[in-house]
Amino acid sequence: MEELMRMMELKQQGFYCSQILLNMALQDRGESNPALIRAARALAGGLGFAGETCGALTGGACLLGLYAGKGEPDEPDDPRTDQMVQELVAWFKEEHGRNYGGIRCDDILVGEPANMKSRCPNLVITTYEKANELLAKYEVTAVDD
């Protein structure tokens, strides 16, 4: 319930799915990164509202990368990043793609912007939970910056 309240507050502040997921992850880490949140805006609505891959899924992949991805030249590349993202995609296809006929925003919203209010909150919250479940499964914690 706490996550849902956080998500709704961020939505009321004008953030989109991908931005909400990364904002919540940054809050969990006790961090702020406006540049990252601005960059995630391009994922909204299926890549700039082009209706392509759902922003909840791409934002969730970025959330995993925030924890496990290489960020500095001297950091090793963690192969678990790709494994986690692949598991997230497979889960998203099964959990949501099956219900909506695909993982693209156009599939999920079926050309009805009103569907955004009824469908997207569940996509965001379940993706956030699944991403955190994968981080726990792979025992990935925040990289010390």
pTM confidence score: 0.92
Whether residue 145 is contained in a domain is answered as: no
Angle subtended at Cα 34 by Cα 92 and Cα 104, rounded to the nearest 5 degrees? 25
86 or 113: which carries more pLDDT confidence? Answer: 86
Whether residue 143 is contained in a domain is answered as: no
Eight-state DSSP code of residue 104: B
pLDDT in tens, 22-57: 999 999 999 999 999 999 999 999 999 999 999 999
- Pure H helices in 52-141: 55-68, 80-92, 98-100, 105-109, 115-137
Q: In the structure, what pLDDT confidence band is assigned to residue 145 with cuts at 50, 70 and 90? A: very low
- Quote the number of domains for the chain: 1
- Three-state secondary structure call for residue 22: helix
End-to-end Cα distance, the chain: 30
Whether residue 94 is contained in a domain is answered as: yes
Structure tokens at 33: 């990164």
Print the domain residue range for 38. Answer: 2-137
